[in-house]
Amino acid sequence: MRLYGKRSVTERLHKNPRSIKKIYIQDGMNRPDIAHLGRSKNVSVEVIKPQRFNQLVQGGVHTQGVIAEIENFRYEDLDEILEREDKPVVLFLDRINDPQNLGSILRSCACFGGFCVVVPKFESVEVTEAVLKVACGGENYVPVCRVVNLSVAVQKAKKEGYWIGAAVVEGGQNPRQLKLNFPFGLVVGSEGRGVRPGLVKDLDYRFTLPMQGAELSFNVAVAVSIFCYEIVNQRQ
């Protein structure tokens, strides 16, 4: 896999330099900070001519003159996450297929802190280079678990004492008007199809974001950020 861009590479160097195989810097882009940091972490750094650099770039990705060759993304074990003493808030993502959305969610969760993301193996985007590009290093601060069955994963969390809510388009309660119980998990579905009914029926809460403006809908990544903000406020 590859990381593209200064922020993504810098955050990986700070958090997990051992996962980086090599860093390429385009000649003339003046990145002495990354070159110095990389070498201080015992990561190989090579400055290459623009023509060769462009050959490494696929699909015209904006790179800021920096690319890192990295190990394949490693998913965390959900059972281990649920057994942790610090009990992160767990986001269960149901049928989120856009890498932009997953990347944005990881970035928001990293900013808030104390979150874990769970994605299913089927009908869902996995962590790809495109996801990492949007996450801007957020993947280094948010455990991501990949499970065969999201319903089973939710039930595991409930057995570990988690209270679980679901974001629904209509009919749910305003999250600001409820006192959440912790540890807490939230199920979020795609913009087009929402959370599957089978997932919602046995949960503790149903949330709907109030909207007094235009009859539109929030982008799923934006909605997750709003929910996370309220969850963090109540957790504190």
Q: What is the pLDDT of residues 59-113, one digit of tens each?
A: 667 789 999 999 999 999 999 999 999 999 999 999 999 999 999 999 999 999 9
Helix, strand or coil for residue 145? strand
Residue with the larger pLDDT of the pair 126 and 192? 126
Amino acid at 104: S
Helix, strand or coil for residue 79? helix
According to the model, what pLDDT value does residue 201 have? 82
Domains of the chain listed by start with CATH number: 2-70 (3.30.1330.30), 78-235 (3.40.1280.10)
pLDDT digit string (tens) for 28-47?
988 899 999 999 999 999 99
Mean pLDDT across the chain: 93
Distance CA 190, CA 95 (A): 6
According to the model, what pLDDT value does residue 59 have? 65
Distance CA 140, CA 99 (A): 17
> What Cα–Cα distance (Å) separates residue 214 from each residue in 69, 97, 189, 218, 219?
44, 25, 21, 11, 14
